[in-house]
Amino acid sequence: MKRTMLIILVVLLLGTGCVSTTMVRFETNAGDATITVEGKEIQEHEGIRLSNAAWKNPDIMVEAEGYKTYYGEVEREIKVANAIFGALLWPFSWLYVWGPEAHQFIVLRELD
């Protein structure tokens, strides 16, 4: 019984780890937008690593020719691996449970 529990514990530790960032990709209905995340400019479909920390919620700005500039925040989701790990073994993982969604789709409004 002890050996089985030890194996389960090792699998959990190796399988979940402490994931503190997420690779996030942005897409818009404009097709060729410039996205600014925390002051860093990226192109649409280009990835950027963002923190899963509960206190981090990056501001974004999206610009595309013929569309109004969008200002907002990154959409967030619960990170299941961190929630399980935090519930079972390491409570501090709860600080990294609410992180950014990996795929962000932003709808831009056309200029009048």
pTM, two decimals, is: 0.70
Domain boundaries, the chain: 2-106
**Residue 52, class by beta-carbon neighbours within 10 Å (0-12 exposed, 13-18 middle, 19+ buried)?**
buried
- In this predicted model, what pLDDT tens digit does every residue of 33-75 receive, in sequence order? 999 998 999 988 888 999 887 778 889 999 999 999 999 999 8
Q: Which of 77, 78, 79, 70 is nearest to 44 (CA)?
A: 70
The pairing of strands 59-63 and 70-73 is antiparallel
Q: Is the pLDDT of residue 92 over 70?
A: no
| Cβ–Cβ under 8 Å, residues 17 and 95 | no
Contact between residue 59 and residue 33 where contact means Cβ atoms under 8 Å apart? no
- The per-residue pLDDT for range 21-31, each reduced to its tens digit, is 889 999 999 98
